[in-house]
Structures are given as structure tokens and as C-alpha cells.
Amino acid sequence: METNMDILDEVVSRDYQYGFVSDIEQEITPKGLNEDVVRLISGKKNEPEWMLEWRLKAYRHWLTMREPKWPNVHYPQIDFNDISYYASPKVKTDAPLSLDEIDPELRKTFDKLGISLIEQQRLSGIAVDAVFDSVSVATTFKAKLAEKGIIFCSMSEAVREHPELIKKYIGSVVPVGDNFYSALNSAVFSDGSFCYIPKGVRCPMELSTYFRINAKDTGQFERTLIVADEGSYVSYLEGCTAPMRDENQLHAAVVEIVAHKNAEVKYSTVQNWYPGDKNGKGGIYNFVTKRGICLEDNSKISWTQVETGSAITWKYPSVILKGDNSIGEFYSVAVTNNYQQADTGTKMMHIGKNTKSRIVSKGISAGKSHNSYRGLVKINKTASNARNFSQCDSLLIGDKCGAHTFPYLEVSNCNSTVEHEATTSKIGEDILFYCNQRGIPTEEAIALIVNGYCKEVMNQLPMEFAVEAQRLLAVSLEGSVG
Amino acid sequence: MTDTLELKQRLLAEFSTREQLLNGSRETPLHILRQDAMNRFDELGFPTIRHEEWKYANIMPALLIPFSSAQPSNLTSDEVCNFYLEGIEANILVFVNGYFAPEHSKFISSEVMMSNFEASLKTPIENSRFAKISGYKNESFTALNTALSNDGAWISIPDGVILTNPIHILMITDSREYSPILHPRHTIHCGDRSEATIIYSSHTIGENSGFTNSVSEISVGQNAKLHQYIIQNDSDLSYAVNSSYVHQERNSTYSVVTVSLSGKFVRNNHTSKLAGENSVANFYGLVIGGSKQLIDNHTLADHSVPHCQSNELYKYILDDRSTGVFNGKIIVRPDAQKTNAYQSNKTILLSDTATINTKPQLEIFADDVKCSHGATSGQLDEESLFYLRSRGIPADKARALLLHAFASDVLNHIAIAPLRDSLDKSIATRLHDESEIALLVE
């Protein structure tokens, strides 16, 4: 028992390693939300008139909506007028920056986060679009991608330079009034990434966005849009961190993916927003809408997520399988510790014939946290021969936490096959004993077992992310033995 | 919308009419409780599909039917005896339109107290037990039943009594002249170390709709065993909401097999609270859905103490335009360590217009547990069909055989052979392969 206490003490003294604050001169709009703020954000971005109209439409719709109460999470009422909706590092012009022009302080921040933009460019060959608070600060490898006709830039740039694409696709997967937070995002989204892969192009490198919340009392609302044209392929990574603060901060993002005929999009997330301290104080509210559509035949969208951060997570990356023979996948590891709450899962909507979906969800709850899986598999009448397999397992560590599963299966087609299975258990004493007996301390043994338990999902992650994710998993669970 | 209000208003009015007839007994604790329940119903109203628990079961169309309060009806013994179970020597409690019909009932086990709800309320002890297990705060139909129920079965099995003959509760709705709405209330006590089997069957005579809103309160004492078989065989115009609430003591076993054969709208809520260590709850169900039926099974295994076990197996065979709903919930409360809970829902869809909505749900607050659930939906296995056909069994017969095998997983939990056989036959009839399966069964 004593060793366990030592471990606990050690962990208590350990900090969230990304919890620093960068001292950067920032431009922040006053708190509160009204039409003027929406106009202001749109103005700052030099957006065309149609974009402003679109935002205003979303804002007006948002006013008529109520906050959803159905998720299995509990938090105090959010005052939407006590948040700043726009914060950006102060720069001379709003023009896209070249890497050399970035504020040295900002560069340091990203270095600390382990994404030295220049280095990463050279070594790992991943194109990065970094979003700091509300604004995209740097996009690497742009020229190289442009050679292939790939567009990878910040959303505000895309609105100005590729209006025809944005007009066509924005809001086509997640409509303006889809839900409370997506409507809010549509009204005030400040930036994000846009990515277009032209016909028949296989993107030569992993594309990546890094999100960072820095400013106090701000909300971050970014919007990502990925369009994969006929026969193209792209793998996209997303990472995020935030400083430690006692107040809760809101993050409401929207990600839309469109896959055309024979196209494949792979979207991986390692979400590590600040989860709050061990008493549940502070942390990010992560309310995210992610949805992809397999618009045409033989397309494929795959979501992989490793969720370790955020005080509250509320997200359901979904796939609408519209094209015949299209495939949707969802691989998820969600870890909650201390007072974290997660309500996450997926939706697979089968519309086209011979569509397939696969769901693998691994939930791990420790401490006093609650982890829920909520998923929907809907097989429409038109989806002949549709196939779904879902597996959601929960692992409980400690007797104060909770693990919940809410799967919804709706089948209206007699040629389809749907299978769902779920288990809940704890780490077997015998397995732990086996490890101990061979000289592996309990803490390490748990990390080992958990990593093995999540392997199916981890295998789906690109190399660079898999290493980070494994480390994160071990860190998130430290001290949960007790 | 105004129409649904009307039924609610009529029910509220009925309650006040009854209240006026009470005279002196208006101040009794029982009536105060009923009044509270009626107020609760008034607040809750009928559930809409925006209510999470009623998401897939739309009761609204039923509320447009001009139901009126069920009145006692005299049936001839010929009409009743059709529904007696063949080959089973059982105690029979007959209820017509929800009212006890002693002239048709039969008592053979003298060691058990069997009576009706109305009579039982005359004893203070029953008075104090009323609505203790079921509660009525959250479910509007239970609140409605609590306020308006005036009859039903009352069974009390004394400590240590092992009942050899089953008890058959036979519910007959007479809808020949009007569309009755009834609120039967059943109370079953199983004393410590007792064992009993209760068969519950429901039927309709007549061409009008009927609405049954029944509530059962069941307590199973220490080391007691209760087996319940529920056969739902109402007409295709009838609506039913059946809620049963079970309270289990230490080392007790409660098993229920629900076979839903017909009825336009059937909603079953089975709740078992495992309140004593080492108790076991088993829920089994078979649904044969056809035409435009909607059959909804909601189960809740509430594990509040350690070392308990619950098993659930629900199988659905859905044809035509029928809809099946399964919502199984397992709650493991913080102290309920060493819980084992299993749940499984399997469906075969026979037509493209049939739908299954299933939601197996786990809510777990303890770590040392083994809980799992599985749900599948599909069609008959092509390979099995091929295997049978390659051995000379015609396609339709092979299909019937496989469906029969699918259903037998649930039916095998019925320990009374004559009952099982007669169900086998009715299921075969329902699946349009009477001759085929009847032969196989014999």
C-alpha cells in the first residue's frame, strides 16, 4: 500500500506538461456575442459578403437553439457572453506569414510543444498548419504541396482565394443549424485549415494541424474542411494543447470531410487539451462536431482518435455512407482520469448499397472520472447488404469511476448484418500478478496492459502519432493505481 | 394534440368522479397517495417520442382512439375456457376487463393465498405496501395505474411453501361493444424459501381496440424462487403497456420469459432491483412481429449490492411492417462489486419493411465487475439453409426449422412442457408454416 501512496504522491506533484502560458502580445475582442462581434470577426478576416451573410444566418439560427442536455456529462451553465470570441497574436498585417516572420515567442511556444515548425518540416516531412488561439499562424510545405495541386492553407486564406470551393463545400456536411455548438462555430469560427486534394492525387505527406489555446477567457472555434476529389488519398493529423488555468475554457470546433468517388481520407486526432487539475478545477470543455460524408461510390473515411485531455469531451465523429460500397471506420481510445468526463462515440449512417462500417472503441476510466460511449448505427431501407461491426470495451481502474455504454442500433433492411458487442471489466489481478512476479512494477504493468488493450486502435495511427499517443496514455493513467 | 389532451382530461375527470364517491375515506393514506400519483400523471402527461425512453414507441396514435373506462362484463364459461391452458393443472385467476371473475376462476393450491387486489386493500398491511416497490414518480403510465387501478391479482406465497401447481392469471379484454381502457394492478409476494411459477396470459374478445395499462409489484423473499411466463396474445387492435417491478432479497432467483405474439402496440417494462446479495435475475423474451405491430421491451437490471447476477436474452423475429424495440439497461451501483451481468439481443428481419431499434445500455459505477452485452441483426444464415437443402429438406421447411431453432433458445427456458409445446405451435402458425413445424415439434 505504501508504494501505491508514493506513486500517488508523485503524480500529484506532476503537472500537465503543456500547461505553460506564452507571453505574446495579443489582440482580443471584448467579451460577449452579438451581430457586431460576428461582423467584426468577418471584417478582420477580410471576408467577402457571402461569408458574412452565412455567419449571420448561423448566428440568428443559434439564437433560437438551446444547449443540449442529453449527454451524460455535468458542468455548470456556460455564460456565452462571458467569452471572447476572437484572439490572435498581434502582427503587422493579416497577410499569411512566412516562417521567418513568426514572433520568436510564438516559435518558442511551438518548440516547447515539440512541433518546431522548421525542424518538423525537415525531419518528419509532415506539413503543419498551426492554429494559435484563433488564428492560423503558419503553414509549412505549402509550395511543395502546391506542385501536386493540393491546397493546404488556413481557412481565412481559403475563403479569400478559393471562394468557389468553400462556397460549395462549407456547411455541406455539417449544416449551419445542425446542433447548438456547430451553429455557434459557424457564426464565430475564427480560422482553421482547409485542404483540397485534386483528382487522382495521393498526398505525398501527412497533413497536420496543431491547435493551441493560449489567451485567457477566450473560446476557440476553428473549422476544418477537407475535400478529397475523385481517386485521391490524404492522411490528416490533428493535435491540441492548452495552458493550465483555473477557469474552464470552451473549444467548439467543426470538422467536415467530403470524399468523392474512390477517394480515401484518414483523419487522426490526439486530443490533449488541459484536463483540469486533480480536483477537477479548470480544464477545457471540448464540444466538437466532426462529420464526414462518403459522397460517391467506393469512398472511405476513417476516424482515429486518442482522447486523453479536456475536462469534458463531447464528440461523435460520424460518417454518412451515401455512396455505394463506401466504408466508414471509427477507432477510438478515450482515457479519463481524476474528474474528467467524456461522452464520445460515433454515428454510422448507411444509405448506399454494400456499405460497411467498423467501430472499435476502447474506454478507460480511472480516478473519479466518467467515460461514456454513445454511438448510432443506422441502416436505411436503401442500404442493402450493409455490414456493421461494433466493439466497445471499457476498462475500469479504481472503484470511484464509471463506464457507460449507450449504443443505438436502428436497422430497417433485412439484407444487412449488424453486430455489436461490449464488455466492461477491470484489469485482471492474475495478469497484474504475472507481471509483478516477473519484476514489472504495478504502474508499468498497467501501462503495458492498457497499451495492449488499445493496440487495435493505436495501430491505426500514423507512426509519429502512435509514439506520442502511447506516451500520453501512460502519463494520463499514472497514479491511477491505488 | 387536442385529442390526446382529451383522453388525459377524461382520465382526470374519472378520478375526480371516483373521488366524490369516496365520502369518508377520502382522507385515508391510500387515497392521498393515489391523489399524488394522479397529480404526477397530470404533470408528466403521456410520453412523446421526445422522451428518451419512448423514442421508438409512439403512443400518440393510440390516444386518438375513443377509449372509455372498462366496465365489468359477463362472459360465458365457454368463452373463457378457450383460454385455459391445455394439459396444465393450474390455479386460475380470471379477470375480465380488469375485474376479478371468481365464477371462472379455480383454486387448487390451498396453501397459497390468492385473491384480488380490491379485497387485499382492505387489510392495513397491504395498504401500506401499495406502490412501495413500483413508485410512480418517473413513469406516467405507472402513475396513472397507481391512481386509477381498482382490481388485479393478489398472490401471497407463505414462507417455505413450494408450489407444485402453477398459478395462471388470465386476462381477458372484452371489446365487443366499446374500446375499454383498463388499469389492472397485480401484487405478488413470495415468502422466504418459497418457490412458485406464475403464468400470465392476455387475450381479447371483440373487434374494437383495447388499452391495458398494467402494473405488477413483485417481491421475492430470501432464498425464494419465482418463475414467470408471460404470453401476450391480444388482438391486432390492442394496446398494452405492462410494467413490472421486482424487488429481490438475498439468494433469490427471479426469472421471466415474455413471449409476445400479437398486439398492435406492446410495451413491456421489466425492472428488477437486486437488493440482496447473491440474487439472480433472468430476463428472456421472444417476439414474433408481423403486420404493423410495434413491440417494445425495456428491461432494467439494477444491481445495488455485491455478488449478484443478471442474464438477459431477447430474440426478435420481425416480418411485414413490424417494428421491434429493445432497450436493455444494466446499472451497477458503486458498491455492487463482483457483479456479473450479461445481455444479448438477437434479431432476424424477414422483410425490408420491418425495423429493429435496439439500445443495449450499460451504466457501471463499480470496477470489479464482468458486464457484457451483444446485439446482432441479420437474416437466416445462407450456409445453414444450404446445408439443410443439400440434405433434401425443401427451402421453406429448412427456413421454418431454422427459425424454430432460433426461437427455441428462449422457449427452452419455459419449464412447463405443455405450455412450451402449445407456444411452439402458435409460433409456427404465426410464421405461416403450421404444418411444417407442427410435424417437427411432434
Spell out the domain ranges in chain A: 2-477
In a domain, B254, yes or no: yes
Local structure of A122: helix, strand or coil? helix
Q: Any idea which of A3-12, A304-313, B31-40 has the lowest mean pLDDT?
A: A3-12
Residue A122 confidence (pLDDT): 44
How far is the C-alpha of A3 from the C-alpha of A252, rounded, in Å? 41
Task: Determine the average pLDDT of the residues in B210-238.
Answer: 93
B360 and A418 within 8 Å at the Cβ level: the answer is: no
Q: Please tell me which of the candidates B347, B367, B373 has its beta carbon nearest to residue A397.
A: B367
Q: Give the type of residue at B371.
A: C
Task: Determine the average pLDDT of the residues in A20-42.
Answer: 74
A417 and B378 within 8 Å at the Cβ level: the answer is: yes
Residue B283 confidence (pLDDT): 95
Q: For a pLDDT cut of 70, what percent of chain A falls above it?
A: 78
- The grid coordinates listed for B203 are 387475450
Angle at B396 between CA B395 and CA B397, to 5 degrees: 95
CB atoms within 10 A of CB B304: 16
Question: What's the domain range around B272?
Answer: 2-276
Q: Give the type of residue at A157.
A: E
pLDDT bin (cut points 50, 70, 90) of residue A94 is: very low
pLDDT in tens, A112-140: 555 545 544 444 445 566 666 555 555 66
**A446 touches B: beta carbon within 8 Å:** no
pTM given for the model: 0.85
How far is the C-alpha of A236 from the C-alpha of A209, rounded, in Å? 8
Angle at A168 between CA A162 and CA A172, to 5 degrees: 130
Residue B408 distance to chain A (closest CA, Å): 21
Residue linked to cell 433492411:
A413
Number of structural domains (chain B) is 2
Residue A235 phi, psi dihedral angles, 5° rounding: -115, 130
Residue A386 distance to chain B (closest CA, Å): 10
In a domain, B287, yes or no: no
Q: Please tell me which of the candidates B337, B352, B364 has its beta carbon nearest to residue A414.
A: B352
B364 and A396 within 8 Å at the Cβ level: the answer is: yes
Residue A9 confidence (pLDDT): 42
The residues facing B244 across adjacent strands are B216, B270
In a domain, B199, yes or no: yes
- The four Cα atoms A89, A90, A93, A96 give a dihedral, to 10 degrees, of -10
How far is the C-alpha of B138 from the C-alpha of B133, rounded, in Å? 13
Residue A129 confidence (pLDDT): 66
R_g (Cα) of chain B, nearest Å: 21
Residue A159 confidence (pLDDT): 86
pLDDT in tens, A240-271: 666 666 677 788 889 999 999 999 999 988 88
B226 and B84 in a common domain: yes
User: Which residue among B230, B261, B276 closes a domain?
Assistant: B276
Q: Are strands A233-241 and A151-154 parallel, antiparallel or unpaired?
A: unpaired
User: Which residue among B234, B260, B276 closes a domain?
Assistant: B276
How far is the C-alpha of B437 from the C-alpha of B130, rounded, in Å? 45
pLDDT in tens, A293-321: 999 999 999 999 888 878 888 889 999 99
In a domain, B293, yes or no: no
ipTM of the complex: 0.83
Residue linked to cell 469512398:
A299
Local structure of A34: helix, strand or coil? coil
B98: left (phi over 0), alpha (psi -120 to 50) or beta: left
User: Which residue among B276, B300, B331 closes a domain?
Assistant: B276
Helix axes A429-437, A442-453, angle to 10 degrees: 120
Q: Please tell me which of the candidates B352, B362, B376 has its beta carbon nearest to residue A424.
A: B362
Enclosing H/E stretch for A150: none
Mean pLDDT of all residues belonging to chain B: 88
